[in-house]
Amino acid sequence: MTSVESRWARVGALFSCRPASTTPDIERLLIETTHSLQSNARLLPIAVTWLATYGNFVARQRLRHLAREAAPEEQAALGLLIDFAIAHGASEDLRLCSRDCNPLLAPGPLFEIHRRSAALLRLAESSTHDIARRWGLWTPFPDLKHDAIRPVEWLLAHNPSLRERVVRKGDLRCSIIETLRHDTAGESPSETQLARSTGATRAAVRASLHALLQEGAVRIARNPGGRGPRVITLAA
Amino acid sequence: MNLDSQHIHLALRRTAESLGPQDTILQIVVGGGCAGLLAGLLAADRTTADCDVYWSGDAGQWDAIAEAARATARQLGLPPEWLNRDCSIFAWCLPIGWQSRCVRVAVFGSVEILRLSRLDLIAAKVISAPRRPQDLEDLFAIKPLDTELDEVEQHIDRLESEDLDRREYVAERAIVAALRGAP
Q: Convert the pLDDT of each residue in A132-179 to its tens digit.
A: 999 999 999 999 999 999 999 999 999 999 999 999 999 999 999 999
A1 vs chain B: nearest CA distance in angstroms? 14
Global pTM value? 0.94
**C-alpha to C-alpha distance for B155 and B2, rounded to whole angstroms:** 35
**C-alpha to C-alpha distance for A221 and B5, rounded to whole angstroms:** 53
What residues of A are in contact with residue B5 (Cβ under 8 Å)? 16
Q: Is B2's pLDDT higher than 60? A: no
**C-alpha to C-alpha distance for A8 and B48, rounded to whole angstroms:** 11
Please, what is the Cα angle at B135 between B48 and B172, to 5 degrees? 160
DSSP, res A39: T
**C-alpha to C-alpha distance for B30 and A213, rounded to whole angstroms:** 53
Q: Sorting pLDDT into bands at 50, 70 and 90, what band is A223?
A: low
**C-alpha to C-alpha distance for B71 and A43, rounded to whole angstroms:** 28
**How does strand B111-115 pair with strand B26-31?**
parallel
Residue A89: count other Cβ atoms within 10 Å of its Cβ. 11
pLDDT at res. B1: 40
**C-alpha to C-alpha distance for A84 and A144, rounded to whole angstroms:** 10
The answer, for B17 touching chain A at a CB cutoff of 8 Å, is no
The answer, for A5 touching chain B at a CB cutoff of 8 Å, is yes
User: Which of B48, B140, B170 is the best mutation test for A, with the most CBs of A within 10 A?
Assistant: B48
Q: Is A45's pLDDT higher than 60? A: yes
pLDDT at res. A134: 97
Q: Sorting pLDDT into bands at 50, 70 and 90, what band is A2?
A: confident
Kindly give the interhelix angle for A72-87 and A26-36, rounded to the nearest 10 degrees: 110
pLDDT (average), residues B22-27? 92
Alpha helical stretches, state H, chain B? 5-19, 32-38, 59-76, 98-101, 118-128, 133-142, 146-162, 170-179
pLDDT tens per residue, range A89-121:
999 999 999 999 999 999 999 999 999 999 999
Q: Which helix (H) or strand (E) holds B31?
A: strand B26-31
pLDDT at res. B90: 86
Provide, for chain B, the percentages of residues in helix, strand and coil under a 3-state DSSP scheme, each rounded to the nearest 5: 55, 15, 30
The answer, for B49 touching chain A at a CB cutoff of 8 Å, is yes
Residue in A17, A154, A158 closest to B44 by CB: A17
Task: Compute the Cα dihedral for B173, A39, B85, B16 and give only its sign.
Answer: positive
B23 vs chain A: nearest CA distance in angstroms? 29
Residues forming a β-bridge with A231: A221
pLDDT tens per residue, range B124-178:
999 999 999 999 999 999 999 999 999 999 999 999 999 888 889 999 999 999 9
pLDDT at res. B3: 54
User: Are the C-beta atoms of B7 and B93 separated by less than 8 Å?
Assistant: no
pLDDT tens per residue, range B76-122:
999 999 999 988 888 989 999 999 999 999 999 999 999 999 999 99
ipTM over 0.85: yes
pLDDT (average), residues A42-57? 97
Buried b / exposed e across A109-120, counting CB within 10 Å, b at 16+? Answer: bbbebbebbebb
User: Are the C-beta atoms of B177 and A117 separated by less than 8 Å?
Assistant: yes
What residues of A are in contact with residue B137 (Cβ under 8 Å)? 40-42, 111, 113
Residues forming a β-bridge with A12: none
**How does strand B103-108 pair with strand B111-115?**
antiparallel
Residues forming a β-bridge with A221: A231
What residues of B are in contact with residue A119 (Cβ under 8 Å)? 174, 177-178, 182
Contact B3 A41 (CB under 8 A): no
pLDDT at res. A152: 97
**C-alpha to C-alpha distance for A142 and A43, rounded to whole angstroms:** 10
What residues of B are in contact with residue A158 (Cβ under 8 Å)? 77
pLDDT at res. A60: 97
Contact A148 B48 (CB under 8 A): yes
Please, what is the Cα angle at A178 between A172 and A181, to 5 degrees? 145
pLDDT tens per residue, range A167-188:
999 999 999 999 999 999 998 9
Greatest CA separation for chain B: 55
Buried b / exposed e across A36-66, counting CB within 10 Å, b at 16+? Answer: bbbebbbbbbbbbbbbbbbbbbbbbbbbbbb
Beta strands of chain A (E only): which ranges?
A: 108-109, 137-138, 187-188, 218-221, 231-234
The answer, for B177 touching chain A at a CB cutoff of 8 Å, is yes
pLDDT (average), residues B51-79? 94
**C-alpha to C-alpha distance for A57 and A163, rounded to whole angstroms:** 8
Please, what is the Cα angle at B137 between B133 and B142, to 5 degrees? 145
